[in-house]
Amino acid sequence: MAVRVYELSKKLGISNKELVDLLKEHGYTLTSIAVVPDEAVKLIETSHEKKAPVQPEKRENPPVRASEPSQPEPQKVIAPKKEEPKTLQIAIKHAAPRPATKSQQPQPQEAEAHPAEISIVPMTVADIAHKARKQVSEVMLTLLKMGVVATKNQMLAEKNVAELARQYGLTVVTKAPVQAKEEKTAQVQEAGQWESRMPVVVVIGHVDHGKTTLLDFIRKTRVAAKEKGGITQHLGAYEVKTEKGNLVFLDTPGHEAFTLMRARGIKVADIAILVVAADDGVMPQTVDAIKRAKLAEIPIIVALNKIDKATPAQIETAKRQLAQHDLTPEEWGGDTVCLPISAKLGTGIDELLDVIVLQSQLMDLKANISIPARGFVLESTVEKGRGPVATVICQHGILKVGDYFTAGNATGRISSLVNSAGKRIQEVPPSVPVLVAGFSELPHAGDAFEVTTQQAIRKGGVKAPSKTAEIMSKTGTEESEIALIVKADNASSREAVAHGLSQLKSSHRTLSLVYTGVGDISESDIILAADTGAIIYGFHVKVQPHAADLVHKKGVEIKSFDIIYKLIEDVEQLLEAGKPVKMVSKKIGEAIVLKVFDIKGLGIIAGAQVKTGRFIRDGKVIIWRGKHKVGEGSIKGLQRDRKPVKEVHTGFECAFLVDGFDAWEVDDRVECFQEVPA
């Protein structure tokens, strides 16, 4: 039975990296964390037991690479062919017949006028098949003869691409080395000292699917319990020390209002852990997270959470939904690692960490520590006594206290660095999240952060802090307009609230965001609200003591919230409050006239018995005589036992005077109607 890389490395007592290198020497190129084929396991175990030196694969024509010096051709090692891998049985069955002898190499098909061109770069089996105009199964068979077992979508190393190009007679086009597609780290191959760095792992998924609970278990702290309503509403970055090595985790909120915050978390990450509740399946924010992770081109590892609550059928349903979004689990023939876990009980967490570490080792993450530090602002807020501060994660360089920097419109000099454990430090390497103080003004979450020189800042001109960009409008509001001032504890929360409010629509009233800011509600906020007639909404903030005295004097309304969707719902109710209500007439009762009274000074009164429903004072009535309508009007007075009443129910007798009709006859049928909202 095939095993994963980390399982085999444990069994052999070697590291994941050593095993991966050993597999490469035997021609098994792993570019994902897929399982190791059976024949590869047997080969590696045999060679490891004998402790014989592993010979690299023989190449008659080495890949065309100007940077590589010519080397003697090593002995070719071919994997055992007695047992063909089960995963390739179908492919081999439909492939071309085996050559008569081992020495005979597959020959190109009949020559073409213009042979296909190919660049010697890593590519999938399917891509090579397309270039060579061959069936995928034939390419897989050729690779098998080379000692390489690969699936349709598996990425092949350059040496295997070069060998296939030679065998299929493809024209090799020499191109400049191709970089990875604009890595999220913006890594450029500059001169300097490059060192391995910790992987940055982003935890994404739908609200309440267990993202923070997963981190909770890993970090052994109770972050989820500190969040109002049990949902994460801030982007947190945490350095985690595990037995598998140090990792940096980003915890992104799952609520739909925090879409932009999730996107920023993915922007700086190397690996994405997609948490999906097995008992809930793929939800809207799950789909959004998948799209953004794919757009960022980072590996996705699926953690199927809450297996302690889910049934086997629910787990299979969740996998089927993932497959519909191009995340086909390995056990279904895909290349997505899908691990069942219980973040609450800790089930499967060790295996998940193994997979994360293995994936990062395969990516061989590096950082240039010789250049000025640069990275991104993850979060920003205002702290009492420290002013604007921001959570920053750098991807290159060493960040030090005293460094001058720029971040969006903000500039500054680092006055202090605080790590995720709350300790002050003097410098921080790449990939480590840190709280930076010393900003001239509040930066925006997602701004590029870069260390520079004091001269460069002076030359560019330091921009004075300004709030004008946050002021949307200061004009007086119309009666159909609701003016709001929003104050939040940090920039991302402010943006999330503003985004949520912008999605609210009403046919008769509009919202006007007079001002949005970060920090506690101040005197200036109260004065602005009084001048514009705005309502102040606070999110995770307090009212400053001096400002509290002005609230009653100015007659300003302040509403405070800890959960974003409750704030949005409250504003939504404000929008609907003044909406004109459409009324319709609803039949509520029917009566039969038993007697007619002519009372002097009052008029003609009908004495009747309510047969169904009820009759109400001021109700509208329609009078029927047989099948014909003879009149209508509204009840002016309603009595029961000669006493005025508001309503009379089924079975009781009553008397009523109708405005607009007095030609009553015994046995007239009367229907009563009431105006109700549509």
DSSP per-residue codes, 158-217: HHHHHHHHHHTTPEEE--PPPPPSS-TT-----SS-EEE-PPEEEEEESTTSSHHHHHHH
Cα–Cα dist 238/219, whole Å: 9
pLDDT-based confidence at residue 224 (cuts at 50, 70, 90): low
pLDDT-based confidence at residue 235 (cuts at 50, 70, 90): low
* Mean pLDDT value of segment 148-155: 69
Q: What pLDDT is recorded for position 143?
A: 81
CA-wise closest residue to 87 among 358, 359, 351, 335: 335
Highest mean pLDDT, choosing among 30-34, 40-44, 529-533: 529-533
Token duo for residue 447: 């701004």
Cα–Cα dist 446/379, whole Å: 8
Q: Which of 87-101, 162-176, 243-257, 346-360 has the lowest mean pLDDT?
A: 87-101
Highest mean pLDDT, choosing among 178-182, 217-221, 250-254, 270-274: 270-274
pLDDT-based confidence at residue 645 (cuts at 50, 70, 90): very high
Secondary structure of residue 451 in the 3-state scheme: strand
Q: What pLDDT is recorded for position 536?
A: 95
Q: Do residues 659 and 588 make contact, with C-beta atoms less than 8 angstroms apart?
A: no
* Mean pLDDT value of segment 591-610: 92
Give Cα separations from 116 to 113, 154, 167, 621 (angstroms).
10, 21, 13, 87
* Mean pLDDT value of segment 609-613: 96
Q: What pLDDT is recorded for position 254?
A: 59
* Mean pLDDT value of segment 230-243: 68
Does 574 have pLDDT greater than 60? yes
Token duo for residue 124: 């999938």
Q: Tell me the domains of the chain and their CATH numbers.
A: 5-173 (no CATH), 198-221+238-364 (3.40.50.300), 368-460 (2.40.30.10), 468-577 (3.40.50.10050), 583-677 (2.40.30.10)
Does 95 have pLDDT greater than 60? no
* Mean pLDDT value of segment 198-206: 90
Q: What pLDDT is recorded for position 382?
A: 84
Q: Which of 117-131, 237-251, 460-474 has the lowest mean pLDDT?
A: 460-474
Q: Do residues 526 and 554 make contact, with C-beta atoms less than 8 angstroms apart?
A: yes
* Mean pLDDT value of segment 198-207: 89
* Mean pLDDT value of segment 173-195: 53
Beta strands per DSSP E along 320-409 = 338-340, 366-368, 374-383, 387-396, 399-400, 404-407
- Type of residue found at 299: P
More confident residue, 404 or 149: 404
Q: What pLDDT is recorded for position 111?
A: 38
Tell me the CB-side half-sphere exposure of residue 593, using CA atoms within 13 A.
Answer: 26
* Mean pLDDT value of segment 106-126: 59
R_g over Cα of the chain: 37
Percent share of the chain, pLDDT over 90: 32
pLDDT-based confidence at residue 295 (cuts at 50, 70, 90): confident
Token duo for residue 10: 């444990």
Cα–Cα dist 335/355, whole Å: 13
Q: Beta-carbon neighbour count of residue 101 at 10 Å?
A: 7
Mean pLDDT (the chain, rounded)? 78
Does 436 have pLDDT greater than 90? yes
* Mean pLDDT value of segment 481-485: 89
Does 599 have pLDDT greater than 60? yes
pLDDT-based confidence at residue 305 (cuts at 50, 70, 90): very high
pLDDT-based confidence at residue 135 (cuts at 50, 70, 90): confident
* Mean pLDDT value of segment 111-134: 72
Q: What pLDDT is recorded for position 275?
A: 94
Cα–Cα dist 9/3, whole Å: 10
Quick: pLDDT tens for 402-416.
Answer: 999 999 888 999 999
Q: pTM of this prediction? A: 0.54
Token duo for residue 494: 């402010």
Give Cα separations from 611 to 496, 513, 545, 615 (angstroms).
58, 56, 65, 10
Highest mean pLDDT, choosing among 89-103, 142-156, 371-385, 453-467: 371-385
In the block, residue with structure tokens 């003697």: 72
pLDDT-based confidence at residue 327 (cuts at 50, 70, 90): very high
* Mean pLDDT value of segment 362-373: 90
Does 227 have pLDDT greater than 80? no
Secondary structure of residue 155 in the 3-state scheme: strand
Token duo for residue 661: 């009709």
Token duo for residue 670: 């009367």
Beta strands per DSSP E along 243-347 = 245-251, 271-277, 300-305, 338-340
Q: Give 116's DSSP letter.
A: P
Q: What pLDDT is recorded for position 182?
A: 40
